[in-house]
Amino acid sequence: MTTKIVINGSNGRMGRALVHACVESSQATLVAALVRVGSEFEGADAGSVAGIAPASVAMISDNNQLPEDVQVWIDFTLPAGLMNALQYCVKKNIPMVIGTTGLDDEQKQAIHDAGKTIPIVFAPNMSVGVNLCLSILQTAAKTLGEDYDIEIVEAHHKNKVDAPSGTALRMGEVIADALDVDLDEKAEYSRHGNIGVRKPGTIGFQTIRAGDIVGEHTVTFAGIGERVEIVHRATSRLTFARGAVRAATWLVGKDNGIYDMQDVLGLSKK
C-alpha cells in the first residue's frame, strides 16, 4: 500500500519538487495538487507543471474537491496559507508534513496546538543530510563547549524572504540546547561599525541572499589554534522534497503529536 498524498502550493518552486518526489516514489501516490484560487495553473496536470511526465492529477483550488482517502497533507507554502491549511487538516483529521519557514511565535503555537489533534512532522529542513548534520552538531557542541566561538553562515537564492533561514535557526537551537544556554540570549544576528571584541559564548549568524543558491549552511567552531567546520550544500530542491515524502510515508499511523526529521530518521536522542 502506498501513502496517498496531497501537496499544497504545488505550482511553486518547492511544490513542483514535491510533486516530482511524490511521483517518483514507490511508497507514495499523489492524489491531489492544490493551488491558489484563480491560479493560472488550475486544471493543469501536476506532473507536466513540475517538468516531468503527466501525473494524471489536475491541479485544483477547492478543498472540497479533495478525495476522501487523503492520508497525508504536505505543506511548504507561506505562513498565511499554512494556517488556513492547518485549520482544514485539523477539521478533517488529516496528518501533516510542514516545511514552511518564517513563522512567528503565534503560528508555531498554532501548529503545536494542532498536534494535540493530528500527527504532524514539523521541520525547517527535510533534507536527510541536513538532519544528519543536526545530530553531528549536537555532539560537536557538547564536546567543544563554550571555549570555541560559533558562527553559522547560510546562503540562499535571492527570492527567499526570511532570514536567517529556518535551518540556520534550528542549527542554533540544537547548539544552544547542547550547551544548555538560551539562544535568544546568545544569538548575534548583525554586526556593523565598531562592535568591539567578540562577546564570549555568543552564537553568530550571517546571511547571504544571491542568485539561485538552493541552500548552503556552514557552522564553524573556532578555537585557539584550530577550527572545526560542518558544511551542508544542497544543489537541488529534490533533496528536501524526497525527505518530505519520506516523512509523509513514515507519519501514517503515528499517534497525535509533533515530530521532526530526527524522529523520522531514527536520530532522535529524546
| CA dist., res. 224 & res. 144, Å (int) | 12
User: 28 φ, ψ to 5°?
Assistant: -135, 155
| Active site residues per annotation | 156, 160
The CA-CA-CA angle for residues 235, 236, 238, to 5°, reads 145
Strand order in 72-75's β-sheet?
A: 59-60, 28-34, 3-8, 72-75, 96-98, 119-122, 257-259
Q: Which three cell numbers stand for residue 63?
A: 478543498
**Strand 215-222 versus strand 203-209 pairing type:** unpaired
Q: Which of these, 268, 256, 152, 147, lies nearest to 204 by C-alpha position?
A: 152
| CA dist., res. 207 & res. 217, Å (int) | 10
